[in-house]
Amino acid sequence: RIYKYQAYGYAFSSLEELLRSLGGEAFVNMTQRSVAESLLEVGVTQRFVDDVIAAVLRSSYGQSVLVPAFAGAMSLAGAQGSTWAVEGGNKLVCSGLLKLTKANVIPARVTGVSLHSSEGRALYQVHYEDGEGQGSGFYDMVVLTAPLHPSKSNFTFQNFEPPITDFPGAFQPSVTSVVHGYLNSSYFGFPDPKLFPFASILTTDTPNLFFNAMDNICPVNISSAFRRKQPQEAAVWRVLSQQPLDKQQLKTLFRSYYSVQVTEWQAYPHYDAAKSLPPIVLHDNLFYLSSVEWVASSMEMVAVAAKNVALLAYNRWYQDLEKIDQKDLMHKVKTEL
């Protein structure tokens, strides 16, 4: 539905309105209750939740079945296969889009936004730091795409009334270890490595387990001549964990290894079903794109949110209020067809 709405220029001023347009109050409620609770209510067994749903969530968000149902549903959808990756890294989507816009990019770290006015209209001064020192620029519209949360935000907002403050919530630490080595199949119950049949290993929510998931990774573009490494051969494995793996833990998973590359990052929101969703509109023409991550975090969700903010900013600027927060959009779109 969202792609059809956006094709006709419709936008939403809050995450709640966006969710209502797609699935009514049921979708809003999915951000306020856990995926475990929702699945159990529709007849999914506790064992399936513990053994399968938990494993998928640990491998994607690094969290438990207590994440909100909407984020959980997004995670489960991604586990069904037919997902896409970009050769060279998904980051090329961002750089590719930036190149297409022909935008004037200022390579600097933004430190804050202050509010001014010009002829009765809001004007935003964006402050930044680069290699040459401090600078700033004035803009009619500003879209923030960095998390405004205590653990991540270095922004300051000045002259806003009421003041704009950090939003509650923290981010989930995630560690990705890319290991080139020989898998210790004995640890997984296969003394003979030639008999190990799996390319991916998921884990359940078990106390003292030191990793969330691991998989044998291969190139994005697989030629007809490509052959995945046999389990007894040295292969490249990706291990996901919440803490960096120590040498003993690496020796537990691998008989021996040639190299280990580790990346630590604050990957996703630490979801809490009781929290309210952050706003999209912080001020007249000051928008917060990253708020969508608190519904569910994925590249597709952020792409949808980006187009929504672009349409919202456009419609508000030109006072086309008939394109914002409209009800019964499916009927409206059919009428326009």
Q: What is the spatial distance between Cα 298 and Cα 300, in angstroms, rounded to a whole number?
A: 5
Alpha-carbon dihedral angle through residues 159, 163, 168, 169, given to the nearest 10 degrees: -20
Which region, left, alpha or beta, applies to residue 185 given φ > 0 means left and ψ of -120 to 50 means alpha?
Answer: alpha
Q: What is the spatial distance between Cα 15 and Cα 30, in angstroms, rounded to a whole number?
A: 12
β-pair partners for 61: none
Q: What is the spatial distance between Cα 337 and Cα 307, in angstroms, rounded to a whole number?
A: 21
The SS3 call for residue 309 is helix
Q: What is the spatial distance between Cα 254 and Cα 248, in angstroms, rounded to a whole number?
A: 10
Cβ contact 283:157 at 8 Å: no
> In the chain, which ranges are E strands?
109-118, 121-130, 133-139, 142-144, 156-158, 171-183, 200-202, 213-216, 235-241, 254-269, 281-283, 286-288
276: its two tokens: 């309210």
Tell me the pLDDT of the chain (337 aa) as tens digits.
Answer: 999 999 999 999 999 999 999 999 999 999 999 999 999 999 999 999 999 999 999 999 999 999 999 999 999 988 887 777 788 888 899 899 899 999 999 999 999 999 999 888 999 999 999 989 999 999 999 999 988 887 666 789 999 999 998 888 888 889 999 999 999 999 999 999 999 999 999 999 998 899 999 999 987 777 788 888 888 999 999 999 999 999 999 999 999 999 999 999 888 899 976 678 999 999 999 999 999 999 999 888 999 999 999 999 999 999 999 999 998 898 888 887 6
323: its two tokens: 């394109």
Q: Other CB atoms closer than 10 Å to residue 12's CB: what's the count?
A: 25
Q: What is the spatial distance between Cα 271 and Cα 275, in angstroms, rounded to a whole number?
A: 8
Cβ contact 173:242 at 8 Å: yes
Q: What is the spatial distance between Cα 130 and Cα 253, in angstroms, rounded to a whole number?
A: 43
Cβ contact 135:108 at 8 Å: yes
Q: Tell me, what DSSP letter sits at residue 253? A: H
Residue positions counted in the chain: 337
Cβ contact 39:76 at 8 Å: no
Q: What is the spatial distance between Cα 110 and Cα 108, in angstroms, rounded to a whole number?
A: 6
> Domains of the chain by range and CATH?
91-169+273-336 (3.50.50.60), 173-269 (no CATH)
Residue whose structure tokens are 């053994």: 51
